[in-house]
Amino acid sequence: MKNRFGYFLLLVMLLTTSVLSAQEKNIASDEELMGWFREARFGMFIHFGASTSEDYLEEGLNKTERYEKSVRNFNPVDFDANEWVRIAKDAGMKYIVFTTKHHDGFCKWDSKLTDWDVMDATPFKRDIVGELAAACKEADIALGFYYSIADWHHPEYDATYSNRKGFHFNPNPDADITKYMDFMYGQIKELCENYQPKLFWFDGSAGFRNPNKKRLLGQQEMVDLLNSYGAISNSRLGDDDTLEYVNYLSMGDNMTPSGTIDVDFESAQTMNDNWHFVPDDHNWKSAKIMLSRLIDIAGNGGNYLLNVGPNSKGVIPEESQSRLKIMGEWLQNNGKAIYGTTAGPYPYELNWGSITQRSEADETTLYLNVVDWPKDGVFKLYGLNNSIEKASLLTDGTVLSHTSIFNAKAGTNVISIKVPKIAPDPYVSVIALQLKGDSEMDQTFLQQQDGTVILDAFRSTIHDEEFVPNKPQRPLDQRIFTVLKKGKGIMPTRGMTVGLEKEGQALSWDFRMLKPGKYKVVVISSVKEEHPWKTNGSMRVTVAGQSVENKLIENERYNNERMATEMKCSVTILGTIEIDTVGMQTLTLEVTSAFTDEIPNVLSVQLLPIDK
């Protein structure tokens, strides 16, 4: 009890000191703190440490022994901070986030608060963080620090606070978590004063999710401290999805939102299946996939933090370098569509690509980032309510002719742009539209160019079986993106999905049809790759005066491009319908037979056109 009182007294002193320090240093405004982050849009994540060592894979040793040996032998003889920075800069990346201390507690800088660092515990004896900071400063690239709140090595880190169900290399039954907090605050201040980072990427706070434990993190005090040094904090400092304390939202690992979420956010993703270097992981994503994710994330107003894992000698693998080179070459030609742009005016998913925009004076430029280039030489854009001053290809300025027709039956504008039949770029081609004033676009769900209708469950209207006072009507408005919270009735589930289980529960959407026809009615759910489909209930879709009902039987699975590799989309075809009128429609998805075995995590309802 005495130690705990001493900790809270220290916390009060830290708060007082940080507030006074902030007043003395005149904490920067939101634009001064966040401006560079909003401009950057693309950064490099670097996972590097002792677990990269071959010693970590040695047989005959337990995990603790392997880890201890890996740190003692850590010697990345080919590490070159300038080379890392060159690769990032050539890729068009504007900032780097480096793992200063991962969950294993090993520090890659010369910390005066522990000997468990690169200078004292390894034969390498070089300050990796210091060299990287100097290289970034020379190249004018912002530097951020990943810092794990969990520490499986520190003797005062109580294993009951671990992010891996009580894991610790050497658990100490007498550990005092308040002493560890003193240590953590001291290291954060040390990193700020020695290296002047622009960002802290906290991780590993899962063990503090209990509200009584979360207070130990001192979220407000920590953010005040960081901001006083000109650094920003991500939301994994206590899983602060609502941004009550922190500066921006970190999505779940490898997660991309399927529309705008109206906050500053960052999506950290890997190039293959691992964060640290793993020799036999050859599941590399293509440059086209990663460019598609870049334009998708930027189109929703976020940053793409793309990870590389240098090998045990400190070298970024050639497989990473070759893909980053392609991305950098694309950005040299198309960077205007990414850097410093804001989310596009259409808030939902576009299955052909994305829209970003830039406003200057009384003009706005929309960038149509097209992955699925039209083969007939006509690109159609639905719902834009501005007249177009000029349409052109971004790369060479070629002017494109266009027409704008108001479809009275559908109730929306249809813009047709004549484009080359062969895509100008093999990855993503960009059309620039110059508009007068602010962009204005239909805010309802619109049928896609290929006839598909995609209705995102996270942006549906909730219909609980019983009214729940003060509950937001849309899952999106509950601001639950990464860490689930309990609640009554229909609630968000993993990966920005929605859980439906009880008879009478329903979701609904209003959407605009432009093409009548026959459609498959499909429910898309999220499921792990190896997880068997166990749901046993039924659902019904009602739209345009017709209903289709069926058991939620899995018909197929395919990769969920907006989640980690192991996550799949499970497809259920409920039936077929025919919609013979255009204009506004309402679709309702309801549970007609309860799910008693396993609750489905619904991603979307889709209408897929059936070719005549």
The reported pLDDT for the residue numbered 192 is: 98
Q: How confident is the model at residue 52 (pLDDT cuts 50, 70, 90)?
A: confident
The reported pLDDT for the residue numbered 564 is: 81
Sign of CA pseudo-dihedral 275, 277, 278, 280: positive
The reported pLDDT for the residue numbered 190 is: 98
State how far the Cα of 82 lies from the Cα of 396, in Å rounded to an integer: 33
User: Domain-by-domain residue ranges, the chain?
Assistant: 30-332, 342-443, 453-609
The reported pLDDT for the residue numbered 2 is: 40
The reported pLDDT for the residue numbered 67 is: 86
Which token pair is 216?
């130990």
State how far the Cα of 514 lies from the Cα of 582, in Å rounded to an integer: 5
The reported pLDDT for the residue numbered 66 is: 85
Q: Give the mean model confidence (pLDDT) for residues 354-383.
A: 96
The reported pLDDT for the residue numbered 60 is: 82
* pLDDT mean across residues, the chain: 93
Residue 23 has pLDDT above 70, yes or no: no
The reported pLDDT for the residue numbered 495 is: 92
The reported pLDDT for the residue numbered 26 is: 59
State how far the Cα of 267 lies from the Cα of 259, in Å rounded to an integer: 13
State how far the Cα of 192 lies from the Cα of 375, in Å rounded to an integer: 53
Say what the alpha-carbon torsion angle 229, 232, 238, 239 is, to the nearest 10 degrees: 180
Residue 95: half-sphere exposure toward Cβ, Cα within 13 Å:
26
Q: Spell out the residues 6+ positions from residue 190 whose beta carbon is closer than 8 angstroms to its own.
A: 111, 112, 113
Report the share of the chain in percent with pLDDT over 90: 89
Q: Exposed, middle or buried: residue 539 (CB in 10 Å: 0-12, 13-18, 19+)?
A: buried
Q: Please give the class, per CATH, of domain 30-332.
A: alpha beta
Kindly give the interhelix angle for 128-139 and 81-90, rounded to the nearest 10 degrees: 40
Residues 342-443: name the CATH superfamily. Answer: Golgi alpha-mannosidase II (2.60.40.1180)
Cα 59 from chain centroid? Answer: 36
3-state SS record for 325-345? HHHHHHHHHHHHHCCCCEECC
Q: Give the mean model confidence (pLDDT) for residues 268-295.
A: 96
Nearest partner of 217 among 241, 193, 256, 245, judged by Cα: 245
Give the H/E segment covering residue 561: none
Same CATH topology for 30-332 and 342-443: the answer is no
Q: Spell out the residues 6+ positions from residue 30 whose beta carbon is closer than 8 angstroms to its own.
A: none
Please write the tens of the pLDDT for every residue from 380-390: 999 999 999 99
Residues 453-609: name the CATH superfamily. Answer: Galactose-binding domain-like (2.60.120.260)
CA separation (Å) from 380 to 82, 172, 364, 371, 414? Answer: 45, 64, 19, 14, 7
What is the gyration radius of the CA atoms in the chain, in angstroms?
Answer: 26
Which token pair is 197?
């980072």
The reported pLDDT for the residue numbered 64 is: 86
Please write the tens of the pLDDT for every residue from 441-498: 999 999 999 999 999 999 999 999 998 999 999 999 999 999 999 899 999 999 999 9
Q: How confident is the model at residue 4 (pLDDT cuts 50, 70, 90)?
A: very low
Residue 1 has pLDDT above 60, yes or no: no
Whether 52 and 277 have beta carbons less than 8 Å apart is answered as: yes
Please write the tens of the pLDDT for every residue from 194-211: 999 999 999 999 999 999
Give the H/E segment covering residue 311: none
The reported pLDDT for the residue numbered 20 is: 46
Q: Model's pTM, two decimal places?
A: 0.94
Whether 519 and 607 have beta carbons less than 8 Å apart is answered as: yes
Q: Give the mean model confidence (pLDDT) for residues 154-163.
A: 96
Can you tell me whether residue 542 is helix, strand or coil? strand
Q: Give the mean model confidence (pLDDT) for residues 174-197.
A: 98
The reported pLDDT for the residue numbered 61 is: 84
The reported pLDDT for the residue numbered 12 is: 45
Q: How confident is the model at residue 566 (pLDDT cuts 50, 70, 90)?
A: confident
Q: Give the mean model confidence (pLDDT) for residues 421-439.
A: 97
Residue 19 has pLDDT above 80, yes or no: no
